[in-house]
Structure 1
Amino acid sequence: MGTWLVIFVLAGAFLLQTVLSYFQTRYYTREFVRLRKMGRVVIGRKRGIISAGTLVLFAINAEGVILTASRIQGVTVFARGRQLKRYDGKSIASLTVEDCKTENKLLQKAILNAVSNYNTIMSGGQIPPSPSFFQKIGLFFKQRVAKSKA
């Protein structure tokens, strides 16, 4: 009986996670589409494994001027977007650390990631995919082994 209870609890948790992730993705898609109707959208992110994750979305015009900005930040799937009005009218290519120093560290990193993504794309480059969790673990151990050999 105990084994079946554990199986049902795990299956229920998996199903709940799937449903909540669906709603989070749906919310993000609606927010993206809303901004996309205004112009191009630049996205910056700072992943959080245990801490809060942060997404920042900038709707920009053809000259790279920010029309509106929105952030989605939180630990759970219940995180919702908030407007960032202080960036309206600024050029995304010229945003610096000084421009976002009043924001929390995660939001600062997401904003700077968006600026980096914009500059990379505008210069004709491609944004490299971020490594997966297991790739990060492999890189960590690879660096440890390299340090111990040196």
Structure 2
Amino acid sequence: MLAVATRVFMAADTEPSMRAIAAEAGVGIATLYRHFPTRESLVDAVYQDQVIRLTSGARDLLGELPPTAAMRRSMDLFGEWIATILDAGRAAGDFRSDVTTEDIAASLIGIFIVAPPSGQHARAARLLDLLMDGLRPVR
């Protein structure tokens, strides 16, 4: 169900319904709600799944490919990961609709240039928190 939800969130131009996600997954709506009682719980599960795939994926790639090829493939996967999370966050109403994947990538590059996580963890964390605040819609 998570793989289907991820795919539906990514492909949707508007916020997909839980019913549409259940139908795409080939399960009843009650089954979907039994596993994910709210839309937010589904979005959170998609996010957590993507984080796990991203972190374990790097180790898996190193097991399959030489380091340079693994690094290159991880770059592709990172871009896909940002897009997936952004789309899921938009669908849940957690992120502004005008923010692009490119905006996030450029922001991360800037943050890590001025505050490398290895040397300035506190500053990087503060800047990342500010970035997250900027992604949220004004309420």
Question: Is TM more than 0.5 here?
Answer: no
- Structure number with greater Rg is 1
Interval containing the TM-score (normalised by the shorter chain): 0.3 to 0.5
In terms of fraction of residues, the more helix-rich structure is: 2
In terms of fraction of residues, the more strand-rich structure is: 1
